[in-house]
Amino acid sequence: MKPRKKRKIPTVNSTSAADFAFMILLFFLLTTSMDIDQGMARRLPPPPDPNAPVNTELKIRERNVLKVNINTQNQILCGGEYIELRQLKDRAKAFILNENNNEHMPEKELIDVPYFGEMMVTNRHVISLQNDRGTRYQAYLDVQNELVAAYTELRDEVSRRQWGKRFMDLNEDQQEAVQKIYRMNISEAEPKSYGDRR
């Protein structure tokens, strides 16, 4: 009797499976979007000069400060009054402008601005932002965005009047001139525990 021949077990070509898995992985990498935390664009002030004399008498007058607080309920208290987020930008713009030179709003001073000449501006104004420790991060970002948008709109308005362009489309010298008119003064204080004061 003849011995039986051993049957060969057919092998599967695994190279095509690896290629297929790689293509599926590549497909998902290219088509899937991931949430990325975005920081806020903010130019930090230069470090203080260690050789500069310390001015202990420097005081910010109360009329020059717009206090913006966010409580644990993410409600906005602006200038002592609760407002909606959508109102904040216009409140900030009115404060920065002080068009009628209101004595309860930032004091104006006369400065010489390149391209514009002498102008009355509120360079001493400060928007003081402070939130509660329980404030949602998104609420804080939304308030920040509205305050920055107030400066952006004011700068765009004066840029369009002077040159017919947005602030971002101006050259560096023109941008510096506009920044002298609307200097961004947002002070971010350490969070506190306000709770809900309403």
Closest CA to 131 of 195, 81, 198: 195
111 within some domain: yes
Residue 123 within any structural domain of the chain: yes
Residue-wise pLDDT tens digits, 76-120: 999 999 999 999 999 999 999 999 989 889 999 999 999 999 999
- So what's the pLDDT on residue 56? 42
For residue 46, is it within any domain? no
What's the pLDDT at 57?
42
**pLDDT of amino acid 55:** 52
C-beta separation of 144 from 42 below 8 A: no
Among 62, 122, 61, residue whose Cα is nearest residue 92: 122
Is 21 a member of any domain?
Answer: no
Which residue numbers in the chain have pLDDT < 70? 1-6, 9-15, 34-50, 52-60, 193-198
Number of structural domains the chain divides into? 1
Is there a domain that residue 2 lies in? no
CA distances to 40, 123, 148 from 43, rounded to whole Å, are 10, 17, 12
Q: What is the pLDDT of residue 53?
A: 63
Residue 68 lies in a domain: yes
What pLDDT does residue 69 have?
A: 95
pLDDT score for 31: 83
pLDDT at residue 19, rounded to an integer? 80
Q: Is residue 4 part of a domain?
A: no
pLDDT number for residue 198: 46
Q: Which residues contact 66 (CB under 8 A, 6 or more apart)?
A: 78, 79, 91, 92, 95, 125, 126, 127, 128
From CA 185, how far away is CA 122, in angstroms rounded?
10
- Give the range of the structural domain holding residue 172, as residue numbers without chain letter: 62-188
Per the domain annotation, does 169 fall within a domain?
yes
